[in-house]
Structure 1
Amino acid sequence: MPVFDQPRSFPVSQENQPVRRRAVFSSSFAGLTSQHATDAAEEVAARGHRRHLNDDALRLIDDLTNRPMDPLFMDSRLTRRPSSPVVTWVTRVVVFLTCVAVGFAGSLFVQRLHTDPRRAVRQSWAAELENQTAQAESLADEINDLRSRIDEVSREMADFQQSETQIQDEMTSGMIPVEGEGITLTLADPIAADGALPRETSGNQIRVVTDADLQQLVNLLWQSGAEAIAVNDYRLGMQTSIRTAGQTILIGINSIESPYVIKAIGNRNTLADAVSAERQPMLYESYAESGIYPQVAKSDSIRLEAAVSGDVAHARRSE
C-alpha cells in the first residue's frame, strides 16, 4: 500500500475558524495562527486516504504530540514590562500597600472571630468582685482597729481591768488577736482539676476540696482542743461560717482559693495527731484517690488576727 505523508497537524477549515482569538490582550495577537483540529471527514476528503471518521483518539494524540503548549503561553510578548523605572516602582509600592492592607484587614477579621463577647463581661464582674472584696477587707480591718482603740480608751478613762473570764471569752469567740503554738494543715486541689471544676464528685468529674472537707477538718481540730482556728488567714469566730457559693468556698463573706491553709492554736502534738493519717485512715484514703495530699506542720508560734463579727441588735443579756 502506498505510504502517504501525514501532516504534522490538521489544518482548520475556513468555516471552523474561531470568531475571537484567545490572546486578544497581546500585542502580537494578529500574528497568532489557530491550531484547532479539523473534522476527520473533511480531512479524508482533502487528503484522499482512508481514515476512520470521527477518530477523536487520533486527533487527541495529534494535539498532545504536536501542540503540547497552549498558544497563549507561546507568545513571548504577552508580558510587557513598563518602559519607565518610575512606573515599575510605583506599581510595586501600590501592590505592597495593597497586600499590607488586605493582610491587616484579614488579621482584624480573624481576631474578631476568635473574640469571646462574654469575656469582657466576666472580666468586668471579676474586677468589681475584687474591688468589693478589697473594700470589705479594708472595712473589717478598720473595725478591728476602732474596737481596739475603744478598749484602750475605756481602760484609760475608767481604770478598767479585764477579768480572766472575760479575756477567755473574747479569745474563744475570736474577738481579739491570739498567739501560741499549734499546727498548720495545708491541702490543695489536684493538679488535673486546674481550679475550674464543680466541687462535687459526679461521673467522670474530678473531685476537688469542698467546704464539707474543710468543715470536717475544722471540727476534728475543735474536738481535739484547738483554741483558735483560721482558714487562709480568716479567723473563725461566732458568726463565721464555711460554705460554698456557686463554685467558690467562702469563709464568712470572704472567698478563698486553693491551696487551703488551716492554722490552729493549741497543743501541737495533740492537734497533729488528731488530723494524721494514722488517726484518720479512711479520710486520707479518699483524699489519695482524688489526688489530694494534706500536709501537717507543727509550729512553735502562730499568730491569728481577730475575727470579723457583726453588731448584736436583737440579743439581750439574760438575768
Structure 2
Amino acid sequence: MSVREKMASRPGTRTTDPAYVGLLSQVMTNTLDEDYRAVAERRGRADQPRSSETRVGLIVVLILFGVMVGVSALQTEQDRPRARAERAALIEQINQRQARYDDLRDVISGLSRQVTGLQSTVAAEVDSNGALTNRLDMLAVEAGTSAATGPGITVTVDDAPEASATVGGTILDTDLRQLVNGLWRAGAEAIAIDGHRLSTLTSIRSASQAITVNYRSLSPPYVVTVIGDPGSLPARLLETAGGRTWQGLQANFGITFDIAMSDKLNLPADPRDRLLYARPERQR
C-alpha cells in the first residue's frame, strides 16, 4: 500500500463536528463579557444611591447659600436709606458747626480791632514819647494777638516719600512741637504753621490721622513761617534740641526738612479767644 493510500484510509487528526466548534466559540467569546457585564451592573446599582445622595446634598448646600446671600442683600438694602440719612445728618451738623465757628472768628476779629483802637487811643493820651505803645505792640506780636511783618525764614517739612512703608517716616504732632520750641529758643519773634498763627494759647495736637493747630486739621507738607533774624536763626535752630531732633529725622527716616531765608514775611494774628483776665489762686 502506498503512502498516499495509507494517509487516505487514516482517521483525520482534527474534528469538524459543528456542535463542538459552536460550543468552543461561545465559551471563548461570551464568558468574559458576561462576567464583566454582571460586575458592572452590580457596581452601577451600588453607586446609584450614593450619587443621588451626593446630588441632593449639593442642592441643599446651594439652596442654603442662596438664602443667606438673599437675606444679606435684603438687610443691606433695608439699612441703606437709614445709613444715608444718618450720614446726611452728620454732614449737615458739621457744616453748621463750621459756619458757626467761622462767624465767631469774624466776631472775635472785629472785637480785637476795637480793642486795638482803644489801646492806641489810651496810649496816645498817657504816653507822650510812644514808649508804652511800642511796648504794647511788641507784646502783642509775641503773644500772637496782632499781625507781624518782617524778615525771617520758612521751614518746610514733609513725610518721607515712602512714609507708609517706613516706620518713623511720618511727621507726628510731637515732632512739630519740637520744631516750634526749637525756633522759639533760637530767637523767633512770631511763628505760623500753614498760615495759622501760634499764640500763647495755641495747641499742636494729633486728632485721628491729622495734626491740628488752633483746632484746624492740617496735612503735609507743613510750612512753618518764622519772623526773626534770617542770618542767625538757621544756625541757632540746629544748636537746639528740637533742631537736632529734626536733623535725626531727616538723616534716619528721610523726612523733608528744608530752610529758606526771606526778606519779608507776613503773619496773621491769631483770631481765637484770648485770655483777658486772670487772678492768682488764693493761698491755702
1:236 counterpart residue number? 198
In structure 2, distance between residues paired with 1:292 and 1:214:
12
Q: Note closer, same or farther for the CA distance 1:313–1:156 as it changes in structure 2 (3 Å cut).
A: closer
Aligned partner (choices 19, 31, 54) of residue 51 of structure 1: 31
Contact 1:177 1:306 in 2 (8 A): yes
Q: Note closer, same or farther for the CA distance 1:224–1:298 as it changes in structure 2 (3 Å cut).
A: same
1:221 maps to 2:183: yes
2:160 counterpart residue number? 190
Contact 1:133 1:254 in 2 (8 A): no
> After superposition, what is the alpha-carbon deviation per residue over 1:150-208, rounded to whole angstroms, capped at 9, x for unaligned?
433675699657621111111111111111111111112234445xx9xxxxxx85542
Q: Note closer, same or farther for the CA distance 1:177–1:285 as it changes in structure 2 (3 Å cut).
A: same
- Equivalence map 1:102-113=2 (5 Å): 109=73
Residue correspondences, number: 221
How far the C-alpha of 1:131 sits from its partner, in A, is 5.2
The Cα RMSD (Å) is: 4.5
- Equivalence map 1:119-130=2 (5 Å): 128-129=93-94
Q: Note closer, same or farther for the CA distance 1:237–1:246 as it changes in structure 2 (3 Å cut).
A: same
> After superposition, what is the alpha-carbon deviation per residue over 1:219-258, rounded to whole angstroms, capped at 9, x for unaligned?
1211121110011211111211223344432223222222
Contact 1:186 1:262 in 2 (8 A): yes
Contact 1:184 1:299 in 2 (8 A): yes
1:132 maps to 2:97: yes
Letter in 2 for 1:315: R
Residue ranges of structure 2 left out of the alignment (5+ in a row) = 1-20, 41-69
2:260 counterpart residue number? 297
Q: Note closer, same or farther for the CA distance 1:295–1:153 as it changes in structure 2 (3 Å cut).
A: same
1:167 counterpart residue number? 137
In structure 2, distance between residues paired with 1:5 and 1:124:
94
In structure 2, distance between residues paired with 1:123 and 1:289:
44
Letter in 2 for 1:147: S
- Equivalence map 1:74-153=2 (5 Å): 109=73, 128-129=93-94, 132-133=97-98, 135-152=100-117
Contact 1:192 1:206 in 2 (8 A): no
1:309 maps to 2:276: no
In structure 2, distance between residues paired with 1:217 and 1:57:
92
Q: Note closer, same or farther for the CA distance 1:252–1:193 as it changes in structure 2 (3 Å cut).
A: same
1:250 maps to 2:220: no
In structure 2, distance between residues paired with 1:298 and 1:208:
25
> After superposition, what is the alpha-carbon deviation per residue over 1:127-151, rounded to whole angstroms, capped at 9, x for unaligned?
7456534542442243123321443
> After superposition, what is the alpha-carbon deviation per residue over 1:24-82, rounded to whole angstroms, capped at 9, x for unaligned?
xxxxxxxxxxxxxxxxxxxx9xxxx853474335998xxxxxxxxxxxxxxxxxxxxxx
In structure 1, distance between residues paired with 2:188 and 2:249:
24
Letter in 1 for 2:212: L
1:299 is paired with a residue whose SS is: strand
> After superposition, what is the alpha-carbon deviation per residue over 1:96-128, rounded to whole angstroms, capped at 9, x for unaligned?
xxxxxxxxxx9x959x59x99989867865774
In structure 2, distance between residues paired with 1:283 and 1:258:
15
1:269 counterpart residue number? 231
Contact 1:284 1:293 in 2 (8 A): no
Bigger RCO (CA 8 Å, 6+ sep): 2
Q: Note closer, same or farther for the CA distance 1:135–1:150 as it changes in structure 2 (3 Å cut).
A: same
Q: Which has the higher helix share?
A: 2
Q: Note closer, same or farther for the CA distance 1:50–1:222 as it changes in structure 2 (3 Å cut).
A: closer
Q: Note closer, same or farther for the CA distance 1:272–1:123 as it changes in structure 2 (3 Å cut).
A: farther
1:13 counterpart residue number? none
2:256 is paired with a residue whose SS is: coil
Give the TM-score normalised by the residue count of structure 2: 0.59
2:13 counterpart residue number? none
1:209 counterpart residue number? 171
How far the C-alpha of 1:2 sits from its partner, in A, is 4.7
Q: Note closer, same or farther for the CA distance 1:141–1:180 as it changes in structure 2 (3 Å cut).
A: farther
